[in-house]
Each structure stands twice: as structure tokens, then as C-alpha cells.
């Protein structure tokens, strides 16, 4: 008689010593809205869809956020970028290439602490209808208040 084996449990990983979501010190802050306007994001996205470079995956069923399919030109461009990267890092720098899975199951994210530690409170901007991290919105507001303030005692209160 064969017994069913229990799935292996994933041991907890140590917490990272730094946050990969923080910009290095001295990096100039740029507002996302400014970049969207400067680089004409909406127009570029529309062009990429019309020319079938890239489209949202499962678009005919409503789409899934964060997943995209490449058309013929998008596939060719992706392959060209990968070849350049591979030629530089693998062939010239003697690095090894590794291919891993693209999706992570919930249990791994839970065990690694990502589910508990990386849950940011999100709000929606009523003017632009864009989602924003609440802590970033508060920080930007405080920065504006400090910039307007000219008295050291007011700055000290903030």
C-alpha cells in the first residue's frame, strides 16, 4: 500500500537587509504625473496596441492586470533586447544565465514575509483617478508644507 506524502514545507527566509523599493539617496524625485505627460504615455500605449507590439493578456475576457502578450513586432523587439543583454553579460562578462518561473505561489510570498510586510495602504486620486500609495502622498504633502514654511520653528513641528 502506498502512503500519500505530505508536501514539503517552505522554511521562512530571513528578512532583506534593505528595501528594494527605496531609491538610492540623492536620487531626484520626479512626480509620476509629470512623466506620464512628458513621455506621452497614453499615446505611446495606444500606438503599441494599434501596431500589435503588446496587448493586455486575456483582453477579450476583460484582461488581467500586469500580464501582457507580445505581437510579432513586440516579440522581435523583446528577442533583440534579450540577445544584446545575453551577448554583454553572458559572453563578455562570463556570467551564467538562469531561467526561473515567472509566477510565485501565495505560500512562498507568505513565508518570505512579502504578504505581511509589503502591504501598502492605497488611495485613489480623485482628480486623476490614479491609485497612489498613501505614505507617498503624505510625504509629498509634508514636503510641500516644509517648502512653503520659512520659519525654523514651523519646520521643527513637522
Question: What's the pLDDT at 78?
Answer: 94
All structural domains of the chain with their residue ranges: 30-99, 100-158
The model's pLDDT over 7-29, given as tens digits with 9 standing for 90+, comes to 444 444 444 444 444 555 666 67
What's the pTM?
0.47
The model's pLDDT over 106-157, given as tens digits with 9 standing for 90+, comes to 888 888 888 888 777 888 878 888 888 888 888 888 888 887 876 767 666 6
The model's pLDDT over 55-65, given as tens digits with 9 standing for 90+, comes to 888 888 887 77
Cα torsion 81, 87, 92, 93: sign: positive
Amino acid at each position: 500500500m502506498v502512503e500519500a506524502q505530505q508536501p514539503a514545507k517552505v522554511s521562512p527566509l530571513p528578512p532583506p537587509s534593505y528595501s528594494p523599493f527605496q531609491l538610492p539617496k540623492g536620487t531626484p524625485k520626479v512626480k509620476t504625473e509629470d512623466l506620464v505627460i512628458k513621455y506621452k504615455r497614453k499615446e505611446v500605449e495606444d500606438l503599441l496596441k494599434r501596431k500589435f507590439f503588446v496587448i493586455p493578456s486575456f483582453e477579450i475576457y476583460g484582461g488581467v492586470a500586469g500580464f501582457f502578450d507580445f505581437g510579432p513586432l513586440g516579440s522581435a523587439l523583446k528577442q533583440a533586447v534579450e540577445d544584446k543583454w545575453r551577448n554583454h553579460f553572458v559572453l563578455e562578462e562570463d556570467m551564467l544565465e538562469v531561467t526561473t518561473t515567472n509566477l510565485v505561489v501565495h505560500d512562498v510570498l507568505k513565508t518570505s514575509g512579502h504578504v505581511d510586510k509589503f502591504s501598502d495602504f492605497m488611495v485613489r486620486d480623485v482628480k486623476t483617478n490614479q491609485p497612489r500609495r498613501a505614505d507617498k502622498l503624505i510625504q509629498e504633502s509634508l514636503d510641500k508644507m516644509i517648502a512653503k514654511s520659512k520659519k525654523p520653528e514651523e519646520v521643527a513641528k513637522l
